[in-house]
Amino acid sequence: MITGYVIGESLRPGAVFEPRGLRLRKVHRVEIGGASAAQPPVWTLVEWESDGEDVQALADALAAALEPDNGWYADFAAGDECVVVFAGRVFRYRRGDEKGRAEAVAYGRSVGTPEHQLDWAE
């Protein structure tokens, strides 16, 4: 099973994220302390899951839907693999792979993700 979430505000206008087999788990709104000046102070978290096995197709669909500005990203777990998705870019690495995580973090910094938001779970 693949589980993850996407921040509603991180989707670009007109984007549709609807991979086959995607199921909604929960939607909730949270006030974010430390949002960047370009980010809204309240985010909509959309938690989802999928039994699908095509991790790359799911990641590619998300990469196509994310807003390219402000360093938005989404992450999800697929077995023992971490998948971190930015607009147009996907990073996949095994949990605990420091080099793989460092590459994703470095990319996030390069596209403007605030440092304290580069904190996805493993």
Say what the pLDDT of residue 34 is: 77
* Sequence spans of domains, the chain: 2-116
pLDDT number for residue 69: 86
pLDDT recorded at residue 52: 76
Partners of 74 in the β-ladder: 85
pLDDT at res. 15:
95
Which backbone phi and psi does 66 adopt, to 5 degrees? Answer: -75, 145
Separation CA 107–CA 100 (nearest Å): 11
Please tell me the pTM assigned to this model: 0.92
> How confident is the prediction along the chain (122 residues), in pLDDT tens digits per residue?
898 999 999 999 999 998 888 999 999 999 988 778 888 999 999 999 998 788 999 999 999 999 998 899 999 999 899 999 999 999 999 999 999 999 999 999 999 999 999 999 88
State the pLDDT at residue 122: 83
